[in-house]
Amino acid sequence: MAPGSVVAYDGFNFLFTCPVNNLSVIPDAKRYEREALMEIDEQEFDLRFGAVAQRRAPSSPGSVASQLESLRRERSMTLQTLSKATGVAASTLSKIERDELSPTISTLQKITSGLGIEMSDLFTFQSEGDLSHGRRSVSRAGEGRTHQTKSCANVLLCSEIKNKKMVPIYTTVIARSLEDYPTWARSDGEIFLMVISGRMELHSEIYEPLELGPGDSVYYDARSSNAWISVGDTDAEVVWVMTA
């Protein structure tokens, strides 16, 4: 394997999802019509409180926006019912589906947990398959499913495998201040992080700020709010693993 390649073991199991664009093939078109009206109400709410609401543009196939909407509709869930299942505000879910908001990894984890799926299901169209022993997935240097937020540029590694026990991610920490985080991240899992290059600080609601450099690592409970910022001349690059 070449430098920068990673591999995850234990097979492939795929799920195929496809957004429905034609109401004529939907058995309960009235329900989707009501749901569309609720989304319009959310846009009017945004306008009333000074936010900029724009006409919705079609999402790119395979994007987080299109996948989330497709998976939600497959389960006959409204934005309100998905909000109750995930703990994510319906207005936030609506913005994600309209591709107006790039959610953090912790928000994605809440959404996938509420939908009963894996995070990789939000990043790619997949086909049905059987779970098998001896599975593995390889991500070569420069490969992976990208997801950018205001604080981090993330690459999901070995994302093809379903039913994983952990989620490996390569991240460039672009945040330089805690003000770059509207809210600090938190999730129900645990995180292992190792710094590859640069320097960063791990901030926690429990501990004092922890500065980490190349080769340093930390394992922590992500149920307490936390945030990362780069503190060196260059953005820190890290590899981290989050329990699924």
Residue range 46-102, pLDDT digits in tens: 333 333 333 344 455 557 888 888 888 888 899 999 999 988 999 999 988 988 888
> How many whole angstroms separate alpha carbon 63 and alpha carbon 67?
6
Residue 222 has pLDDT above 60, yes or no: yes
**pLDDT tens, residue by residue, 108-140:** 888 888 888 877 677 654 444 445 677 888 999
More confident: 193 or 44 = 193
Same domain, 101 and 67: yes
> How many whole angstroms separate alpha carbon 98 and alpha carbon 58?
8
Phi, psi of 200 (to 5 degrees): -145, 165
**pLDDT tens, residue by residue, 139-189:** 999 998 888 888 999 999 988 877 778 889 999 999 999 999 988 988 888
> How many whole angstroms separate alpha carbon 81 and alpha carbon 90?
8
Tally of domains in the chain: 2
Same domain, 180 and 238: yes
If pLDDT is split at 50, 70 and 90, which confidence band does 7 have? Answer: low
Any domain includes 130: no
Any domain includes 45: yes
Over residues 204-229, the mean pLDDT reads 95
**DSSP code of residue 234:** S
Residue 152 parent element (H or E): strand 152-156
End-to-end CA, the chain:
26
Same domain, 147 and 236: yes
Quote the pLDDT of residue 25: 40
Any domain includes 14: no
Residue 173 parent element (H or E): strand 166-173
Q: Is the dihedral of CA 86, 103, 131, 7 positive or negative?
A: negative
Phi, psi of 110 (to 5 degrees): -65, -40
Quote the pLDDT of residue 37: 43
Same domain, 72 and 31: yes
Strands 190-197 and 236-243 turn out to be: antiparallel
Give the domain range for residue 169: 141-243
Verdict on whether the full-model pTM lies above 0.75:
no
Structure tokens at 184: 């600090």
Same domain, 158 and 201: yes
> Nearest CA to 7 among 146, 193, 143?
143
Any domain includes 211: yes
**DSSP code of residue 99:** T
Same domain, 236 and 147: yes
Same domain, 105 and 171: no
**pLDDT tens, residue by residue, 24-48:** 343 444 444 444 444 434 443 333 3
Same domain, 193 and 162: yes
Any domain includes 7: no
- Is 163 in a helix, a strand, or coil? coil
Residue 211 has pLDDT above 90, yes or no: yes
If pLDDT is split at 50, 70 and 90, which confidence band does 1 have? Answer: low
Any domain includes 5: no
Structure tokens at 137: 């997935």
Same domain, 157 and 113: no
Any domain includes 201: yes
> How many whole angstroms separate alpha carbon 192 and alpha carbon 180?
22
Structure tokens at 10: 């234990």
- Of 55, 90, 122, the one marking the end of a domain is 122
**DSSP code of residue 165:** S
- Of 92, 122, 152, the one marking the end of a domain is 122
- Of 90, 122, 154, the one marking the end of a domain is 122
Provide DSSP, 27-75. Answer: TTHHHHHHHHHHHHHHHHHHHHTT----PPPPPPTTSHHHHHHHHHHHT
CATH number of the domain bearing residue 71 = 1.10.260.40
Same domain, 90 and 32: yes
Any domain includes 90: yes
Distance of CA 160 to the CA centre of its chain: 15
Quote the pLDDT of residue 60: 55
